[in-house]
Structure 1
Amino acid sequence: MSEEPVPQQIKPAHTNWIRVSLLALGLILIGVGIAWQLKLPHFASGLPRENAIMVIAPYRHQGTWVFDDSSAGLVEEPFVAGVPEMIDVIVKDIPDAEAGFRLLFSAKPFPQYQKKLVWLRGEGDGNYYRFSDSEMEGWICPAMFKYYKTAPKELYVKAEPLK
């Protein structure tokens, strides 16, 4: 007696394709969620911060003020077009500021802020601001949008020693 082969049930090809697609989508969503939670630069760099007061630590590099912010994907981001001179004014009483200082800034007043900057105009991808108590003005580059969705009408700043 010979046994006849038992026919195997054939599943439609589209069922397997749907399962694979759903699995891939699920894995992608899990990966994006993990990257978001870990604030990996690629995912976090394009998102403005939600803090009320931001902090960076500018320092002198190759003759101008720059700063790093790894969470925003910025390395040696330079201040240009009048802003270095504005920084010179606010750090004049900080010893060894060239080696680095703490710069607090906010779109809203905070206790003991040092200077208020007033928005003048947009130009290129950046914005011009001036000190409210003088005619000194400077251009803040598009890196500002790592911190704000839109250019604030006012910025409040304070420089203080790192130590």
Structure 2
Amino acid sequence: MTNSIMVIFPYRHNQTWVFDDERMGLVQEPFVSGVPEMIEVLIQEIPNVDEGFKLLFSASPFPGYQVELTWLREEYGGNWYTWKQRSLEGWLCPALFKYFNQPPEKIYCKAESLYSS
């Protein structure tokens, strides 16, 4: 059984948001095609964010989630999602399948500081 809520720690590398997840074999996996713009909106209130942040995500709602992404379509092995409340769309690459067996209809997200508040 996999975790219901997963966590990654995105950080900037060469002006690109990336993340590492050794358990999944991912190193400097970049966010592209609309997702960096979503991240920029999500992290606006986090201090020292250039050092990175904690991103919690799940296919089920959880207390305190900030974003609900809705699946739109498959393209190039990845999947497009929309953040309807912000009129943003972003493409999640096939690394999505390291965390989900199939693209979830919804993905719920929350960004937090790396440091205690």
Higher helix fraction (1 or 2): 1
Shift of 1:98: 1.6
One-letter amino acid of the structure 1 residue matched with residue 5 of structure 2 = I
One-letter amino acid of the structure 1 residue matched with residue 109 of structure 2 = V
One-letter amino acid of the structure 1 residue matched with residue 47 of structure 2 = P
- Between the aligned partners of 1:130 and 1:155, the Cα distance in structure 2 is 10
How many positions carry a matched residue from both structures?
115
User: Could you say what the CA RMSD is over the residues aligned between the two structures, in angstroms?
Assistant: 0.9
- Between the aligned partners of 2:97 and 2:49, the Cα distance in structure 1 is 25
Q: Which has the larger radius of gyration?
A: 1
Q: Which has the higher contact order (CA 8 A, sep 6+)?
A: 2
Note the residue ranges of structure 2 that are not aligned, 5 or more in a row. Answer: none
Note the residue ranges of structure 1 that are not aligned, 5 or more in a row. Answer: 1-48
Identity of aligned residues (%): 57
Shift of 1:132: 2.7
One-letter amino acid of the structure 1 residue matched with residue 93 of structure 2 = C
Residues 1-163 of structure 1: matches in 2 within 5 Å? Answer: 50-163=2-115
Q: For each residue in 1:88-109, what CA deviation from the matched residue of structure 2 results, as whole angstroms up to 9, or x when unmatched?
A: 0000000111211000000000
Q: For each residue in 1:44-92, what CA deviation from the matched residue of structure 2 results, as whole angstroms up to 9, or x when unmatched?
A: xxxxx71000000000111110000000000000000000000000000
One-letter amino acid of the structure 2 residue matched with residue 146 of structure 1 = K
TM-score (norm 1): 0.69
- Between the aligned partners of 1:124 and 1:117, the Cα distance in structure 2 is 19
Q: Secondary structure at the match of 1:133?
A: helix
